[in-house]
A and B are shown apart, each in its own frame.
Chain A
């Protein structure tokens, strides 16, 4: 009994390779010829940065002369650098965006999952910011955030206090940038949640409704648990990109005003490309990577590994 499926899977494996395809030297060479261009570029631009970047963190390097081994000196300099800590703090603050963006994306996905006329238009509209370059998005919001600009006019119109220039005020700048990340990201997560919603069997929800469950009960007990794998993936993606936030900072504020939007990855960028301290920047990169991994694990625990029946 137990051997049958195993044999089948073995046959399957054979079938993937092709029956006539014996493992010959000729075939192997052909296979590697197909793979080679891809593999070479992958090694040069993906594998090498991981290896060399790690090595660089323990060296002093200026591109012209070969790297000099300095041990943990870069890490010591990093931990003594107040700018690094404040960058890290801002990156961690950025994680605040994760629950907000996920809750809104789930609600929006529920809305556009309704079979209503013209729903396709809304799905497309919410996705337009996702396909727009951060260069354009950042500039647009920079203009709208000006003193007396569109955002302030609208705030005044709905009776809220006007804030002056959002990006010149250290108290508001980081949150203003976070709102742009939120605005640009909702459509992306909405599409993923939509796919998640459509994979939940409608029979289950129907059965519960017939058994007298209210809509809210159906949502809490069937829809939300069904979405758990998607929630895991999405919150993981958004936590990691929050810690590594960079493009919006680069376009909108460059870390100003008063360092209030200076994030961890922006620190490594400016150490490398403004101060030419490549080793120090690489050390910063390693610390950011470690923090991302830790938060990834925390996330995994919080969403219980994305198991539906947890």
Chain B
């Protein structure tokens, strides 16, 4: 009786001490969490403020343009209207160019990679491993002169020739996308995805007399869809954001994609930066939308790409 009581007492003291320790730990945890939040908020402010600042300055018709601000002094769409009119190149044309270049670029890049990865993952033919390793080796070869030689190649292929407006436009769009179409990262991502697809499925289809193209279309593509989506989003962001190649190479300013055209306009609008800010806001919005919806895919693609 007495023994049991004492041991009860003992367990009670243990419980109390344990609870006290736990509370202390929880308190310490809450404190470090608080500290972590504080640091995270400061970093988030540094990361996001430039975007916010550009946005509020772009909707402000007048005021001290470059100073730091928390809220716009006044609100209006004048800067957007001026941007839309543009000067030499109409803004709608830049948007159209970006849409065409992205559509062409993403569709062709994804198609080429999904096609080329299939025999590398699921067929047997002489030279398969050699080709795969040669492609991987190409990834580490120094390519500092890429911009220069690709420019020469583009000229030599006659893609910058000017004969009639429609043909010129098609050729110049092709000139913009062609150098990026063979994506080694994409090939690697898709080969990895294909390798996980069970061979039984493919064999069954082969026995049933399905052609390789049918197998690719009806088995490989649907089953690799998550990877294809991830890769497509990565490519969309890359094509939408790229400006250097187009700006260096294209002879016709009317053909520039949005981000390249923005730089052009920042020259012509040098006295009206607010209008360029409006253009910058419009340039970012599609990326933010795609990123917000496709973030999970995007991160997956990124990690896969680096592991490759």
Contacts and interface: CB of A to CB of B under 8 A. Distances in A.
A251 to B, nearest CB: 7
Q: How large is the interface on A (under 10, 10 to 19, 20 to 34, 35 or more residues)?
A: 35 or more
B68 A282 contact: no
B155 to A, nearest CB: 6
Interface in A1-48: 15-23, 27-28, 30-32, 34-35, 37-39, 41-42, 44-48
B3 interface: no
Interface string B224-251: 0000000000000100111110001000
A47 to B, nearest CB: 6
B148 interface: yes
Interface in B192-221: 195, 199, 202-203, 206-207, 212, 216
B120 A50 contact: no
B124 interface: yes
Interface string B134-153: 01001001111111111111
Given A34-B119, A128-B288, A19 B144 contact: no
B47 A30 contact: no
A49 B245 CA distance: 15
Contacts of A128: 47-48, 51, 288, 291
A281 B119 contact: no
**Which of A20, A134, A150 counts the most chain B CB atoms within 10 A?**
A150
A21 B237 CA distance: 39
A243 B242 CA distance: 20
A153 interface: yes
A168 interface: no
B126 interface: yes
B297 interface: no
A134 B295 CA distance: 20
A39 B116 contact: yes
Interface string A268-310: 1100110000100110111011101100000000000000000
A154 B68 contact: yes
A46 B180 CA distance: 9
A265 B144 contact: yes
Nearest to B131: A35
B182 to A, nearest CB: 4
A285 B262 contact: no
B280 A45 contact: no
B266 A28 contact: no
A209 to B, nearest CB: 12
Interface of B: 33, 36-37, 39-40, 43-44, 46-51, 53-54, 57, 64-69, 112-113, 115-116, 118-126, 128, 131, 135, 138, 141-153, 155, 178-182, 184, 187, 195, 199, 202-203, 206-207, 212, 216, 237, 240-244, 248, 259-260, 262-263, 266, 273, 276-277, 280, 283-284, 287-288, 291-292, 295, 298-299, 302-303, 306
Interface of A: 15-23, 27-28, 30-32, 34-35, 37-39, 41-42, 44-50, 52-54, 56-57, 63, 108, 111-112, 114, 116, 121-122, 124-129, 131-136, 139-141, 143-144, 146-151, 153-154, 157, 183, 186-187, 191-192, 195, 233, 244, 246-247, 250-251, 265, 268-269, 272-273, 278, 281-282, 284-286, 288-290, 292-293
18 contacts: A19-B203, A31-B125, A45-B179, A50-B138, A122-B44, A126-B44, A128-B288, A131-B287, A133-B283, A133-B284, A135-B259, A136-B262, A150-B67, A186-B47, A191-B303, A268-B148, A286-B145, A290-B142
